[in-house]
């Protein structure tokens, strides 16, 4: 039947008033088109190592980064010692370390990583805005300090900027490159 094939292809969707008269049983159901609002992956994926002593935070951060599309989590550590070993073995583009972990904390782990790999980019992640910790992080080689209540999209944007070499410090002594406040899209 002429025109029948046209109705099967989404490119030739017609308005109901344009459709030829057909019995109700023969009409096609409307086609629903869903549009994804996620970012397309970039050409070069940012390889990330996560270190946090709380498994739930690691899972949340891993999912946020995966959903963003610009990142690939290449390793996860539950403490600073393990983070240093993995950073040396995996050579990630970006390390995201919790500040407070048992044993070797995030600042000490970051110092060891930066000493072994001067090109390493490390962002510290904390539940606290602390002037002293932020100052220490800067002086020991961190490219960023972000709080765990940072909104997911802002966090991902800040981490991408850090991977590109930009300093991304939030907090009382930081540059405040973003607004941070709790929301249903935070990772912590």
What pTM did the predictor assign?
0.70
For residues 115 and 88, is the Cβ–Cβ distance under 8 A?
A: no
Q: pLDDT for 110-155, tens place per residue?
A: 999 999 999 999 999 999 888 899 999 999 999 999 999 999 999 9
Confidence of residue 177 (pLDDT cuts 50, 70, 90): very low
**Is CATH 3.30.420.480 correct for 46-169?**
no
Domain positions in the chain? 46-169
Confidence of residue 49 (pLDDT cuts 50, 70, 90): very high
Q: Which residues contact 121 (CB under 8 A, 6 or more apart)?
A: 93, 94, 95, 143, 162, 163, 165
Higher pLDDT, 172 or 121: 121
Q: Report the C-alpha gap between 85 and 23 in whole angstroms.
A: 70
Q: Which of 85, 90, 68, 56 is nearest to 156 (CA)?
A: 68
Tokens of 16: 């109901």
Q: pLDDT for 77-90, tens place per residue?
A: 999 999 999 999 99
- What was the pLDDT predicted at 165? 92
């Amino acid at each position: 039947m002429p025109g029948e094939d046209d109705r099967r292809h989404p490119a030739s969707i017609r308005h109901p008033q344009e459709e030829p008269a057909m019995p109700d049983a023969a009409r096609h159901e409307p086609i629903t088109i869903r549009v994804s609002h996620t970012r397309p992956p970039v050409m070069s994926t940012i390889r990330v190592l996560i270190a946090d002593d709380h498994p739930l935070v690691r899972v949340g951060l891993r999912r946020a980064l995966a959903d963003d599309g610009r990142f690939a989590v290449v390793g996860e550590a539950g403490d600073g010692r393990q983070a240093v070993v993995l950073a040396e073995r995996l050579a990630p583009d970006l390390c995201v370390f919790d500040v407070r972990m048992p044993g070797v904390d995030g600042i000490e782990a970051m110092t060891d990583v930066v000493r072994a790999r001067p090109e390493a980019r490390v962002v510290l992640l904390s539940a606290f805005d602390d002037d002293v910790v932020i100052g220490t992080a800067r002086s020991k080689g961190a490219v960023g300090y972000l709080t765990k209540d940072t909104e997911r999209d802002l966090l991902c944007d800040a981490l991408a900027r850090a991977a590109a070499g930009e300093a991304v410090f939030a907090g009382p002594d930081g540059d405040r490159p973003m607004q941070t406040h709790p929301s249903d899209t935070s990772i912590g």
